Chain A
Amino acid sequence: MLSAFLVLLGFFAGMLGALTGIGGGVLLTPILALHFGIPIRQAIGTSLVAVITTSAASSSIHLQRHTTDIRLGMTLELATSLGAAVTAYLVAYFNRNLLEGLFAGFLLYSSLTILLRRGKVKDHDEGPPTNNRETEIPAYEPQRYPLGLAASLVAGGLSGLLGIGGGPIKVPVMFIFMNVPLIVATATSNFMIGVTAAASAIVYYRRGDILIEIAAPLAVGVFLGSLLGARLAPRIHTKYVMYLLVAVMLYLAGHLFFHLFTGAGAV
């Protein structure tokens, strides 16, 4: 039956997300659109629920390790949530092909950044969640706030448009330009995703673009999958998981392009 299948799908997406740091929304949106025949706008809205679930589950773990900069996150959220709310509102006026094209482009971009890093996971500290040790973080002072806010506006805009977290934009900006340690940048980006996704999800919900009967089983699976993934992370060679993720993303990008150019291929 459909619900059981969706729980399973969410479970694998959540686990892959927790293992790789790439949120499940990137995978769930195109899968819902291509394999469940859900219009892409509703696929985006529905997977936003899963994105919030992943962020809440994983950032509560990061917070316990004291690696999240709540003040920095809150400041940048001014920009991400504004961008997300605005594009979530505008998305009603986008046509389906443009959204699918943008999404395929984003999948290619994400695959490329992973391949360029040679599959290395950005988060060096992959301690088990039960391990409550204090992580040593060098003293730092975030810099270039205007640049950080501008990048956050773009990341938020993409999030509202495509139903994704925007980590591949925020993490490098905080790390490279704002002088924030990588481990803090990763945790803080994760932390921000919940509020960013909520800002757009509220708009999608009011418009009727969140399909409850799809979102609920998906979120149940994502929640369980990301908890298990966080536990497995220290014991698994994340490099191979990253390549698996790239393969799935490239397949989905290709499928989206195929769908775009032939107008067929769905379901």
Chain B
Amino acid sequence: MSQSREPGLDRIVALVLRVGAFGSFFIMLAGLLVGLFVQGHLATRLERAGVLLMLGTPVVRVVVAGILFLREKDWKYGAISFGVLTILLLSALFGIGEH
């Protein structure tokens, strides 16, 4: 049974993506607007925060889906989610290349 027919799972994952996308959109937009009027670090900080929220949204999505699988006692897909999360965390760990 792989076919996803779980409205609850779909809805919660969709919500995570929407909150992340809208949130980072408004933060980046605020950064752009602030940049129009004010000189300084605030605009750049907002833009950076928005970009980081965007990068973090898929990671949160993996965590949330994993928790939902575990709550359904779906150990197999809980483990798979954990595996994906591990790869994401490792990529953050090893991503420190030369600048």
Would you call A194 and B58 a contact (CB within 8 A)? yes
Checking A59, A63, A69, A201 against B2 with a beta-carbon cut-off of 8 angstroms, the contacting residue is A69
Asked whether any CB of chain A lies closer than 8 Å to the CB of B42, the reply is no
Report the minimum CB–CB distance from B78 to chain A (whole Å): 10
Asked whether any CB of chain B lies closer than 8 Å to the CB of A266, the reply is no
Kindly state the separation between the CA atoms of A213 and B57 in the bound complex, as whole angstroms.
20
Interface majority SS (helix, strand, loop, mixed), chain B: helix
Q: Give the number of residues in A that approach B within 8 Å (Cβ atoms).
A: 58
Q: Give the number of residues in B that approach A within 8 Å (Cβ atoms).
A: 53
Chain A residues with CB under 8 Å of B48's CB are 212
Asked whether any CB of chain B lies closer than 8 Å to the CB of A267, the reply is no
Would you call A217 and B87 a contact (CB within 8 A)? no
Asked whether any CB of chain B lies closer than 8 Å to the CB of A37, the reply is no
**Closest B residue to A208 using CB positions:** B99
- If A66-B7, A216-B50 touch, whether A206 touches B97 (CB-CB below 8 Å) is yes
Would you call A142 and B2 a contact (CB within 8 A)? yes
Would you call B54 and A63 a contact (CB within 8 A)? no
Asked whether any CB of chain B lies closer than 8 Å to the CB of A106, the reply is no
The 7 closest A-B pairs by CB, nearest first: A206-B95, A85-B91, A63-B14, A216-B47, A203-B95, A198-B58, A194-B58
13 contacts between A and B (CB under 8 A): A56-B17, A60-B15, A68-B4, A69-B3, A70-B4, A89-B91, A194-B17, A200-B91, A203-B92, A212-B48, A216-B47, A217-B28, A219-B54
